[in-house]
């Protein structure tokens, strides 16, 4: 009889906890690492994560620990679910504890500041592993819906299709349907850029604009995401799938979206500093928008919505300035290469 597949999930925020639930429900043995020992103890005793998902029952088999060595021991999959800008530092601490043949799985949706590297690139660099040992999970996956076992779908991507299928099996629960893909670049860019577009959509909503504006921003946001992805060698069809359009629509439309909510507060007149003070979870687009814009400029890709979001978040422009700048751009063909 084969030993059960074991996963270590590093990060007990809402998405790390939700994905741990999926893995448990799929029959995978899961150890969830929490930074604070008090939170790990509460998860084990009460089967609940009171900090991020209060009142939601977690699977009885889910075991939490604040000891990374205990979490990582014997893991077949190491799932990294920390804020993207802390990935490098955290992984450097964990590197000596990583099992030799484990697949490293990124749940992170960001681009690293300073290097403009995707999370899989950071993982490969810090952990010293080949690309066929790094996978990503990306799609329209709002954590609060998933922990309530609402039907959802996602993409598990790895350049090695066999590894992607192994991960697919490990997280294939009755309500959670994973599809495989070998286009890691496209899946990661779709997941990162959609957070920036959601900030813009949120700002528009906060200013009182409706569905026409939201649809325009989503559609044009998808166009600029596709231009960047194609310039970096991704499959254009990925942007039409769950990791592209699917994730973009969910993040731009749902009140559960941190990035949309952050943008709404900006659109209502709050400053970035004020919104940060009232936000207890990371809105990845706030940090990643500048590195995404740097990446686009390095490859000669025009990303006007991303550029406008950067101007609000980092350059003291207002949402009204952003909208004015977008509307004053010269008319052009809807489709263009870059």
Read off the DSSP letter of residue 333: -
Reference 196, options 97, 308, 116, 301; nearest CA is 308
Quote the CA–CA distance of 11 and 33 in Å, as a whole number: 6
Using DSSP, state whether 138 is helix, strand or coil. strand
What does R_g of the chain's alpha carbons equal in angstroms? 19
29-33: strand order across its sheet: 63-65, 29-33, 6-10, 77-80, 103-106, 134-138, 152-157, 176-181
Are the CB atoms for 153 and 177 separated by under 8 Å? yes
Rounded to 5 degrees, φ, ψ at 100 are -60, -35
Parallel, antiparallel or unpaired: strands 29-33 and 103-106: unpaired
Are the CB atoms for 136 and 153 separated by under 8 Å? no
Reference 64, options 23, 8, 104; nearest CA is 8
Catalytic annotation present for 109: no
Strand partners, 156: 137, 180
Reference 191, options 163, 160, 154; nearest CA is 154
Using DSSP, state whether 196 is helix, strand or coil. helix
Q: How far apart are the first and last CA of the chain?
A: 54
Beta strands in 97-140 (DSSP E): 103-106, 134-138
Strand partners, 104: 78, 134
Are the CB atoms for 245 and 189 separated by under 8 Å? no
Catalytic residue among 109, 117, 194, 287: 194
- For residue 93, give every residue at least 6 positions away whose Cβ sits within 8 Å of its Cβ, in sequence order, or none: 68
Task: Tell me which residues are annotated as active site.
Answer: 194
């Amino acid at each position: 009889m084969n030993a059960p597949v074991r996963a270590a999930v590093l990060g007990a925020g809402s998405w790390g906890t939700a994905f741990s639930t999926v893995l448990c429900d799929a029959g995978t043995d899961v150890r969830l690492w929490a930074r604070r020992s008090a939170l790990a103890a509460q998860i084990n005793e009460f089967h609940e994560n009171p900090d991020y998902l209060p009142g939601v029952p977690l699977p009885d088999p889910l075991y939490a620990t604040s000891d990374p060595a205990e979490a990582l021991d014997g893991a077949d999959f190491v799932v990294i679910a920390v804020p993207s800008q802390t990935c490098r530092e955290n992984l450097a601490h964990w590197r000596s504890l990583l099992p030799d043949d484990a697949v490293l799985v990124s749940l992170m949706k960001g681009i690293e500041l300073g290097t403009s590297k995707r999370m899989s690139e950071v993982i490969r660099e810090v952990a010293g592993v080949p690309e066929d040992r790094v996978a990503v999970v990306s799609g329209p996956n709002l954590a609060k819906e998933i922990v309530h076992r609402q039907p959802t779908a996602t993409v598990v991507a790895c350049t090695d299709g066999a590894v992607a299928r192994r991960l697919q099996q490990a997280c294939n629960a009755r309500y959670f349907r994973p599809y495989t893909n070998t286009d890691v670049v496209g899946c990661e860019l779709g997941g990162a850029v959609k957070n920036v577009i959601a900030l813009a959509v949120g700002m528009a909503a906060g200013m009182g604009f409706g569905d026409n504006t939201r649809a325009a921003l989503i559609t044009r946001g998808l166009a600029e995401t596709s231009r960047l992805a194609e310039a970096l060698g991704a499959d254009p069809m990925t942007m039409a799938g769950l990791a592209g359009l699917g994730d973009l629509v969910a993040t731009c439309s749902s009140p559960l979206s941190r990035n949309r909510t952050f943008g709404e507060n900006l659109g209502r007149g709050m400053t970035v500093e004020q919104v940060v003070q009232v936000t207890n979870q990371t809105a990845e687009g706030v940090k990643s928008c500048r590195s995404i814009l740097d990446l686009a400029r390095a490859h000669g890709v025009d990303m006007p919505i991303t550029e406008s979001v950067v101007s609000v978040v980092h350059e003291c422009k207002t949402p009204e300035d952003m909208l004015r700048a977008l509307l004053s751009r010269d008319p052009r063909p809807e489709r263009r290469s870059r």
